[in-house]
Amino acid sequence: MGTRGYVGIRNNDGLLTGRFNHWDSYYTALGTDAVELYFDGKGNEILEIADNKAAEDKEFLYDGLFCEFAYIYNKENDTLEVYRGFFKNGQELTDDKREKIVHSLERGNGNEYFCHLIFIIDKNKHTKEQVLQAFEKYDNTEEAESNEKRGYPERDIIKLEVPKGYNLIV
């Protein structure tokens, strides 16, 4: 079954180069490959793990219906951002500078789906084992109708911490 996803490389200023991945984009496949590259110091090679070699516009990240998982290496900060799609509401981040993130692609029938930033992996704070444990926590959570009901079980292992001045792309 095609589990669509996205891998990319970006600078903190938001400049992004990415590729669409049609098959096996979930945590235990493409996600694990992305984490392995990142912790091996090869984040710049993340585009090579996509099954599609054509460049893809970052607009795919705004399509939470079709972009089910995404892994973005931020080379400026040496971090790995992990996203999940299929949320019916925009993500809300609370601090004094951010409001609701509302990037999505509108579907003519009023149905919109969003990708949410799940966490930002920083090898100075996290271990590969923690990340894989967080992925497993999600996989072991009983599936619900939508990610809205399932929530963010991964964050029991790794909290979402968005540093001040970090330029979010979704």
**Global model pTM greater than 0.85:** yes
Closest C-alpha among 39, 13, 18 to residue 83? 18
Could you give the strand order of the β-sheet that contains 69-74, starting from the edge strand earlier in sequence?
55-56, 16-21, 5-10, 69-74, 79-87, 114-122
Q: How far apart are CA 102 and CA 135, in angstroms?
A: 25
| CA distance readout (Å), 64 to 11, 96, 100, 160 | 22, 26, 15, 19
Residue 66 and residue 57 in contact, taking contact as beta carbons nearer than 8 Å: no
Q: Which residues pair with 98 in a beta bridge?
A: 95
pLDDT of residue 99: 43
pLDDT of residue 108: 47
- Measured between its terminal Cα atoms, the distance across the chain in Å is 26
pLDDT in tens, the chain (170 residues): 579 999 999 987 777 899 999 999 999 999 999 999 999 999 999 999 999 888 877 788 888 888 999 999 999 999 999 999 988 887 876 654 444 444 444 444 567 888 999 999 999 999 999 999 999 999 888 765 567 778 899 999 999 998 877 777 77
Side-chain-side CA neighbours of 4 within 13 Å: the count stands at: 12
pLDDT of residue 6: 95
Closest C-alpha among 21, 28, 27, 17 to residue 6? 21
